[in-house]
Structure 1
Amino acid sequence: MATARHTRARGGAPRPGAVDRVPFPVVDEVARHCAQDAEPNTVHIEIHLPGAVDEGRLRAAFAEALARHPRALMRERPRGPFARRYEWELTGAADVDPVSFPPPEPGALDRARTRALAVAPPLTASPPLRLEVVREPGTDGCVLVFTLHHTALDGPACMRLAATAAEVYGVRHAPAAPAPARPASAPSSGESPAAPAARPARIAAGSPGPGAVPGNSLLLAELPVPRRESGAPYTVNDQLMVATALTVADWNRTQGAPGADRRPLRITMPVDDRPRGPEMPIGNGTRLVEAGFAGSELLPGVDVAALLRTTAARTRALKAVRRPPLGRSASLLTAPLLPVALRAAATRGLRVLAGPWTSTTLLSNIGRLPYPLDFGEAGRATAVWFSAPARMPRGLTFTTASTGGRLHLALRWSRTLLGDEDGVRLRELFTRHLASTSSETV
């Protein structure tokens, strides 16, 4: 955990409660080193409500949520050329109002999604997020569209902010039940299986179209949550992992990728051990692990039931191993031994060199939402989608959440790798392979 530095009043004593500066944690620093305008590092979240929110009350509720989680009220501190760290300034109050209400026009939601993927909130203004409340003519409800700068915040942290805002907004209602604690990972019964050492498969290029410009595109889908027998040795997350692996293998095979049946796949999976209650730490709090699949495990006609059991054993072992968020090498790379500008150049160079060994894709599953997200007369959330950045060399990410017994899937891809029709085909493949993991099928 980073140590806060306090502003000192005259005489050298810290001002009471005035926490001013926090060094960037490892995840934030690496993300800041690798920032690029062509593919902004944003997380997009949208919460669908059946009714409309009151503008003044929502602004006040979100301001109160930020006050209750002051770690979100931060901006990047200016630094000199020889500074050894990036630092966050904890501002205690917002520099700008993060809440806006675009005009209710046809296509407003699509435009808000486009902004979420293309325009990152600045790190120089607190807080590094924005919330657009979107309505379209002829609809009763509204959509809360969040855009986060992923250098500062992740999806679960934003969901905690949204949950607090909902609790404040719907204060006339009965208090929400406490968020369930995330179960602790069971101790590993053996060695954690390493992902294959060979260079992993890449997502085969589709048809991005002539003159495709850098950036991300997005496709959302609502699917049934796959059924799972009581007492099954695997989780829904394992079913999603298997569906993702089979989807990518199938896609590469149909695209004629060289070695599609031989090269291993590696899927990055964020693991979040933070509590989900009001005390949840805000920021980037997940650690990344990689699940490996041999090419021979993903051939047509694979025994899906056996693959689910194998995957469950792997993911249990991976979750049980305690490690730094990005691994020990990243911790060494961000040690403040050299000026941060030199470390940034080294990190960017190493990222290019390590590109061929970057995991094939990322699957981020928030799971069943632990919050009611009840906004009073505007109603409870009926759907929640979120999407993770799809920068090259991965170029494709799968993100899921579950609300009201439905699975909300977001496919996000790099426009230099895939086109809109490719996204539709990938959604169809994922839908089919996810259904194959259901207890009614295996």
Structure 2
Amino acid sequence: MIAPWTAGGRGTATPPGGVRIPFPAVDEVSRHCLSDDEPESVHIEVHLPGRLDPVRLRAAFRRALLAHPRVLMREVPGRLHRRSFAWELTGRPDSDPVKLAGRGPDALARARARALSECPPLTLSPPMRLEVVEAGKGRAVPEPSATGVASGTGTVLLLTMHHTALDAPSGLRVLATTAEQYGGVAGLPVTGRVRPGRSGPAPSGTGRTVRARPARVAPDSRPGQVRARAVGNGMLQADLPVPRRAARNGGLQPWTVNDQLLVATSLMVGRWNVSQGRPAGPVRITMPVDDRPRGPEMPMGNGTRLVEVAMTSEDPRDTDLLLGERPDPAAVDRLLRTTARRTRALKSAHGAPLGAGASLLTAPLLPVGIRGVLTRGARRAAASWTSTALVTNLGRVPYALDFGDAGRATAVWFSAPARMPRGLSVAAASTGGRLHVTLRWSRALLGDAAGADLADLFQESLSRTSPTPVGANAPEAGRGAGIREAEATAADAEASTDRDHAGTPGGPYHHDTPHPDPTPRGARSTQDSQKRPS
């Protein structure tokens, strides 16, 4: 075994330090718009049923970093009159990025809080840290995993990255290589994503013709001055069954799980805004599209392109049907089919990651200081036209994440930044037939209680996107009713446990910090159901 933090193994192919790479447009825009109030962090959680050896893990993580030398980078310092930012490839870590977060019932909550508030610095290589949270003696890691963990066992690996440098697929690829190094078993070949081919003119039906300003997520009922002083992000996570899809009609299914997530987010936002006394408006969702290969050769960095999906029905009369007390199943079906057509067109199209405007703003024609002023000004000017929410779906995790005697991953969660003016992100990944969803929001928009209410609406809205089984009644309104019905009929869902029910301790949604509302969770949900759509 290679000793921790010494060169060797696959690292012999690592290029020498000092190689410099100019910032791509995505990295530069993120760098210009950094804010201490809302750190630009991405976090990934991998839940394992067993314990890890810290020495072996450190050695495996180092070898994984050396196998992906593009991750071993730091920002080159410089003055504002320079023409571009640059990454310097260091060839080896500047420090040990593996931290033992300790044990205890609140160790994972504290690690999550750090992931949302403390970005790894860009001045140290690599711009990420890996925290290890173990179950305490006689206590399991308190997670709503469908498979559960035995008493006194269980480990959570929590990887936090600076989003200016890396995205979630890059971090997940590093963790997959770490598992291969730790377990001593080479990973199976990973198939790439299949995108519909494009030939002839650019695809139509993307919804780009909608010119109305997107609806904003309505702020909660806290006083404006309280929201203005709030900093950071809040987060809730869910362990849910993968929603069922409509039966195939010939070739492809009419819509994907990703389309269901988009529609559920749209329904959640629309119904939330109506409950807050806001008029219904057109919802537009930013969706990352990743065309990179997912094997060991995967390019590291920020490799996704962002597209906007208009979540508007083709029939204006559907708006009232979708936002009523019980969304009309036929209207939901029509929105799913429209959304599927738009996302297929957007995925098959090609373009700059952030569009032509960002490419122009980051062209090295002016010093970076002036470009930064222009970029921040453009961001403020375009705030009212920013999309309503961000939905990132990694799909089925393609890696075994097998850590040998520590076991395979039983759950994988991740979250994306939720900075204002958008203020809301939804992230999803599927592992072992379960859907792991994270809602993350800006505290300048929502408090923890409002975030929990929004999560309830998402859970129910997602259940509305699953077709009703033949001979079964439509899901009754109520917190978690649709999810429980879908769970009982989903073919690929594992056996449920008591923790799979919303509104109960350890249920699908859990907080990164204790809930501030002294009212019991179930009682508050009952009270709120009287004043907002269910």
Amino acid across the alignment from 2:242:
V
Q: CA deviation at 1:298?
A: 3.9
Amino acid at match of 2:465: T
Instruction: Confirm whether residue 161 of structure 1 aligns to residue 159 of structure 2.
Output: no
- Secondary structure class of the residue paired with 2:101: coil
Residues in 2 aligned to 1:195 and 1:97: alpha-carbon distance in whole angstroms: 50
Aligned equivalents of 2:42, 2:130: Cα separation in 1: 12
Quick one: distance in 2 between partners of 1:376 and 1:107?
27
Query: Which residues of 2 match residues 186-197 of structure 1 at below 5 A?
Result: 186-187=197-198, 189-190=203-204, 192-194=206-208, 196-197=210-211
Cα distance in 2 for residues equivalent to 1:77 and 1:208: 42
Alignment-derived partner of residue 255 in structure 1: 276
User: Per the alignment, in what secondary structure is the counterpart of residue 35 of structure 1?
Assistant: coil
Tell whether 2:453 aligns with 1:425. Answer: yes
Partner of 2:480: none
Instruction: Extract unaligned runs of 5+ from structure 1.
Output: 1-15
The count of residues paired between Structure 1 and Structure 2 equals: 422
SS of 2:77's equivalent in the other structure is coil
- 1:177 partnered with 2:188: yes
What is aligned with 1:228? 245
- 8 Å contact from structure 1 (residues 208, 415) kept in 2: no
Cα distance in structure 2, aligned partners of 1:208 and 1:51: 43
1:341 aligned to 2:369? yes
Matched to 1:203, the amino acid is: V
Contact kept in structure 1, 2:206 and 2:309, CA below 8 Å = no
Residues in 2 aligned to 1:122 and 1:374: alpha-carbon distance in whole angstroms: 29
Q: Following the alignment from structure 1 to structure 2, what is the Cα–Cα distance between the partners of residues 206 and 190?
A: 37
Amino acid at match of 1:135: E
For residues 220 and 158 of structure 2, what CA distance do their matches in structure 1 show?
Answer: 29
Distance in 2 of aligned mates of 1:233 and 1:392? 34
Deviates more, 1:127-136 or 1:186-195: 186-195
Residue pairs, 1:32-431, within 5 angstroms = 32-137=31-136, 138-139=139-140, 140-171=153-184, 173=185, 175-187=186-198, 189-190=203-204, 192-194=206-208, 196-208=210-222, 210=226, 213-231=230-248, 232-257=253-278, 259-260=279-280, 263-294=281-312, 296=316, 297-299=318-320, 300=324, 301-302=327-328, 303-431=331-459
Distance 1:324 1:189, change over 3 A: closer
Question: Could you tell me which residue of structure 1 aligns to residue 10 of structure 2?
Answer: none
Instruction: Check 1:432–1:306 CA distance in 2 against 1; reply closer, same or farther (3 A cut).
Output: same
Q: Deviations over 1:42-86 (max 9, x none)?
A: 001111000111000000000000000000000000112320000
Matched-pair contact (CA < 8 Å) for 2:102–2:132: no
SS of the equivalent of 1:389 reads coil
The one-character-per-residue Cα deviations of 1:285-315 (angstroms, maximum 9, x if unpaired) are 0000000123744433441111111110010
Q: C-alpha separation between the residues in 1 aligned to 2:433 and 2:209?
A: 32
Instruction: Identify unmatched segments of 5+ residues in structure 2.
Output: 1-14, 141-152, 475-534
- CA distance, structure 2, for counterparts of residue 195 and residue 91 of structure 1: 46
> Contact conserved, 1:179 with 1:276, CA < 8 A, in 2?
yes
Query: Once the 2 structures are TM-superposed, how far is the Cα of residue 208 of structure 1 from its aligned partner?
Result: 4.9
**How well do the aligned residues superpose, as a CA RMSD in angstroms?**
1.6
Alignment CA distance shift 1:405-1:43 (3 Å): same
Q: TM-score, normalised by structure 2?
A: 0.77
Matched residues in 2 for 1:110 and 1:345: separation?
37
TM-score normalised per structure 1? 0.92
**In 1, Cα distance between equivalents of 2:376 and 2:246:** 46
Comparing 221-230 and 395-404, the one that deviates more: 221-230
Task: Measure, in 2, the Cα distance between the counterparts of 1:186 and 1:226.
Answer: 27
Deviations 1:357-396 (A, max 9, x none): 0001110001100001000010000011101111111111
Question: Alpha carbons of 1:195 and 1:363: their partners in 2 closer, same or farther (altered >3 Å)?
Answer: farther
Q: CA deviation at 1:191?
A: 5.3
Cα displacement string for residues 332-351 of structure 1 (whole angstroms, at most 9, x for unaligned residues): 11000000011001101111
Q: Which moved more, 1:116-125 or 1:415-424?
A: 415-424
CA offset at residue 104 of structure 1? 1.2
Asked if structure 1 preserves the Cα contact closer than 8 Å seen for 2:22 and 2:86, the reply is yes
- Whether the 8 Å contact between 1:34 and 1:348 is mirrored in structure 2 is yes
3-state SS of paired residue (1:385):
strand
41 and 189 in structure 1: CA distance in 2 versus 1, 3 angstrom threshold: closer
